[in-house]
Amino acid sequence: MFSFTKKTDLYEFSPTELHEALAGKRVVLVDVREQGEHAAARIEGAVNLPLSCFNPAALPEGAVVLHCGIGKRSRAAADLCAKAGVPLAGHLAGGLSAWSAAGLPVTQG
């Protein structure tokens, strides 16, 4: 469905598109922000695998979508996945900032 492994081919989910994919249980969301950032504000159901210790082999099964604060770290994690040959469904364009700006729910604290 959504499987790209090269950075240049990384699919960019819009916040609305990702929200719908999560609601339909079609993707697994992985937050690559640090643990403190994830604990402070997060998208409900996101698995936290910080970029500082990111291991593509540790990703959960399924169509994985990466996200971070603005999209820079999720792209860096996607590069690591591409180098390791681990396919991704994509990443959240604009990260948690775009998700929040779209008025979508963020779990605080």
What is the set of domains in the chain, with CATH numbers? 7-108 (3.40.250.10)
pLDDT at 4: 44
Instruction: Give the whole-angstrom CA distance, residue 93 versus residue 12.
Output: 5
Predicted confidence at residue 8, as pLDDT, reads 52
pLDDT value for 9: 83
**pLDDT < 50 positions in the chain:** 1-7
CA distance 109 to 24: 25
Q: Answer whether 74's CB lies under 8 Å from 32's CB.
A: yes
Question: Does residue 18 come out as left (phi exceeding 0), alpha (psi in the -120 to 50 range) or beta?
Answer: alpha
**98 Ramachandran zone, left/alpha/beta (phi>0; psi -120 to 50):** alpha
